[in-house]
Chains A and B, each alone.
Chain A
């Protein structure tokens, strides 16, 4: 394991992308987590959302591979690979998308280095000038919010992710 591995918060769609295709950028990031190159951060609200979305009937009917017992086992495996925060001790008001505030709260509690997402509201947080963006920069000045593609391409060589 690198001396100070990146600490990642994975947005739910990133986990779903990874579970559907381990060969995708998101899947490779997940496999690198398994090799302890990165530490995925987890909290009860985030795990609950992962569980709910991975079991969503519409998503499962489109991607039946998600409707297998191995998916639940994989989610359980994530708790062995990552750092789990049982209680979210932080609150973060994120008016643009309150449904994603639990991801930011986890990033703060777990001192995340990266939040991996494709959501524009989240991606604009580290460069935005609104109140939420300023408050987040104050609390986590080094946090990077990035897409899986950009994260993978930036770190694939140094971490031998292939």
Chain B
């Protein structure tokens, strides 16, 4: 499906999301095209940073944590998300 609205046309993006894009662009004082360009540029910047920055620099050394608590929280989070929908894609 292709959704077109005031000059933006994105295959697979529903009307609601297109409306949200328009709204967000307006809020930021950008045209929808400029906003989408901004999103793409931002994502590419993240990708570039990911390519060239080590885990250590990104995450820092961290601190010791209760790993059994992490496991429990992850298990609970998994259950919540799987109840909402399968992760398969």
CB within 8 Å of A: which residues of B? 46-47, 49-51, 53-56, 58-65, 67, 69-71, 73-82, 87-89
The distance in angstroms between the C-alpha atoms of A30 and B74, with both chains bound, is 18
Q: Which residues of chain A (53-74) have a CB below 8 Å from chain B? A: 53, 56, 58-59, 62-63, 65, 69-74
The distance in angstroms between the C-alpha atoms of A109 and B54, with both chains bound, is 28
A56 contacts B77, C-beta separation under 8 Å? yes
Residue in B55, B58, B74 whose CB lies within 8 Å of A59: B74
Stretch at the interface among A41-49, A124-132, A152-160: A41-49
How many interface residues does A have (CB within 8 Å)?
42
A88 contacts B88, C-beta separation under 8 Å? yes
- Name the distance in Å between B80's Cβ and chain A's nearest Cβ: 7
The distance in angstroms between the C-alpha atoms of A88 and B74, with both chains bound, is 23
B67 contacts A73, C-beta separation under 8 Å? no
| 6 CB-based A-B contacts, threshold 8 Å | A13-B75, A20-B62, A24-B65, A45-B89, A74-B50, A77-B53
Mostly helix, strand, loop or mixed at chain B's interface?
helix
The distance in angstroms between the C-alpha atoms of A65 and B70, with both chains bound, is 13
The distance in angstroms between the C-alpha atoms of A80 and B58, with both chains bound, is 14
B46 contacts A73, C-beta separation under 8 Å? yes
Knowing A45-B87, A59-B73, A76-B46 are in contact, say whether A22-B78 is a contact too (CB < 8 A).
no
A79, closest chain B residue (CB): B50
A31 contacts B56, C-beta separation under 8 Å? yes
- Name the distance in Å between A17's Cβ and chain B's nearest Cβ: 5
Q: Does A52 contact B (CB under 8 A)?
A: yes
